[in-house]
Amino acid sequence: MAYTIRKKFTFEAAHQLVDHDGKCARLHGHSWVAWVEVQGTEVYLDGPKRNMLVDFADVKSAVKPLVNGYLDHHHLNDTLGCDMPTSEYVAKWLFDKVANLMPGLAAVEIEETCTSMCRYQP
* pLDDT tens track for 66-105: 999 999 999 999 999 999 999 999 999 999 999 999 999 9
Looking at residue 1, its pLDDT comes to 65
**Which one of 111, 112, 114, 118 is the catalytic residue?**
112
45 within 8 A of 20, measured Cβ to Cβ: no
User: How many angstroms separate the CA atoms of 14 and 53, rounded?
Assistant: 34
**Which one of 24, 75, 88, 118 is the catalytic residue?**
24
What angle in degrees, to the nearest 10, is found between the helix axes of 87-99 and 56-66? Answer: 120
**Which one of 15, 30, 73, 88 is the catalytic residue?**
73
In one-letter notation, the amino acid at residue 95 is F
The phi and psi torsions of 41 (rounded to 5 degrees) equal -110, -15
User: How many angstroms separate the CA atoms of 45 and 116, rounded?
Assistant: 39
Domains parsed from the chain with CATH numbers:
3-120 (3.30.479.10)
The phi and psi torsions of 58 (rounded to 5 degrees) equal -70, -35
73 is catalytic: yes
Check whether 21 has a pLDDT greater than 90.
Answer: yes
Q: E-assigned strands of the chain? A: 3-15, 28-40, 74-75, 105-113, 116-120
For the chain, the average pLDDT equals: 97
